[in-house]
Each structure stands twice: as structure tokens, then as C-alpha cells.
Amino acid sequence: MESCVTDRRMKRLRPRLFAACALALACGCAGQKKPTGPLLLHPVPPAAEGYALVQGAIVYTGPGFTVSARPWDYRLVAEEFARAGDPNPFGKDEAATGQFLFVRLRFENRTAKSLVFNPLRAMLTGNNEAPILPVENADLVAFADENLAAAEALARVFRRVSFDLTATVPAGGTLERYLVFRSPKEARKEILLRLDDLWLGSSSFDLVFPFEAFPGAPGP
């Protein structure tokens, strides 16, 4: 008898419990802040042979060489220039720097041959969108308001920290710099960093590093 009474009570309470759970879920969703702010690249675990996700970087290991592509926060880039006292080639402040995507590329050559990288053969692609090409030294004139002296100063800093012209990694050497792109206007579920025609001696390699691009800073 007691069991039947308990069953009837549970049947009456069940709709109320369902309603309470639905309300709690709705309140929880409404309380979550949607990320806002400039886009940041986020690595996607690679499935292709030779690639691995290692401590936030996508690493390709080839025959005697390694290429690491690590997304870099624009705020750290702005802080780096401010701390060094150098002019920022990507804008006057953090907000301006946030208009770009930064990838920290590291090449390690363990062979007796030269490893050659041409940044003009790099691009961001995906989602059937037009490719995004790396920022070049010549683009800095626009940031300097046609001030030639300022443009030259920005160019010197840019060449020191970023890939611009063809770079050669000698036998047994390493090279690490930024590869910089203008940020797309909207988040992308898939965005691929392509490095085509990477030459090791007489052999060429086309590398692809998978990322996502979405806002990384929470809203106020």
C-alpha cells in the first residue's frame, strides 16, 4: 500500500521536476557570456601522418627537419613591442594589433642540406573563402600614414620579427619568427595554414596545419 502511494506522489511531482530542470538549464544558458573581441587561432588535432599537436603547437616532423606552427595571442605581440620600446609595425595599440592573426613558425633543420621557406607561398584557406596571404613589408606603408621615416622604422622591426622574404635555415640550424595575416571578419570553423614549396635540398614539401578562428576573449 505504501508503495502505491509513493508511486502516485512521484507521478504528480514528475512534471514539476521536469519544469524546474528546464528552467535551470535556460537560466544557465542565458548566464553564459558569448566570447567577443578579435579572432584568435586555435589548433585542431591533426589527423594527417607526420603531424602532431604538442603543447598548443601543431608540429610536422619530416625527414630530418621539423616545422612547428604555434598560434600566438595578439595581446602578447603588442606587449612584446611595448616592453622592448620598439614601434609596433601592426598598429599603435592592442586593438590595432588585434586586426591580425599571428603564427609563430619554428623551423629546425637536422640535415646537412639547406631548408628554404618562401613566405609568399604561404596562405590561410578554408570554407571556400578566398585565400588570405601573409602581410608583407610593403604593406607597412599604410600603417605609417605615408611617413617615409616611420615606414622604414616599422619595416626594420617587421623584418626582424616576421617572415617577409625567402628564408634559409642552414644545416643544423633553427629559425623562428612570426607569420602574420590580416584577420578574417568572421569566425571560421576551419582555417588551414598552407606552407607550399618548402625545399630541403632538391626535395619539396607542401605542409598543411589545421586551425579554427574564433574570439578568444570573453565579453564584459
Q: pLDDT by residue (tens digit) across 99-111?
A: 999 999 999 999 9
- Predicted pLDDT at 66: 98
Amino acid present at 130: A
- Predicted pLDDT at 6: 44
157 pLDDT exceeds 80?
yes
Q: pLDDT by residue (tens digit) across 167-207?
A: 999 999 999 999 999 999 888 889 999 999 999 999 999 99
Phi and psi, residue 82, nearest 5°: -65, -40
Beta bridge mates, 123? 194
CB 173 within 8 A of CB 86: no
Alpha helices in the chain, H assignment, sequence order: 2-31, 74-84, 94-97, 140-143, 148-161
Question: Measuring CA to CA, how many Å separate 176 from each of 164, 185, 218?
Answer: 13, 28, 30
- How crowded is residue 153: how many other Cβ atoms within 10 Å of its Cβ? 16
Q: pLDDT by residue (tens digit) across 56-86?
A: 999 999 999 999 999 999 999 999 998 988 8
154 pLDDT exceeds 70?
yes
Q: pLDDT by residue (tens digit) across 15-36?
A: 554 444 444 444 444 444 555 6
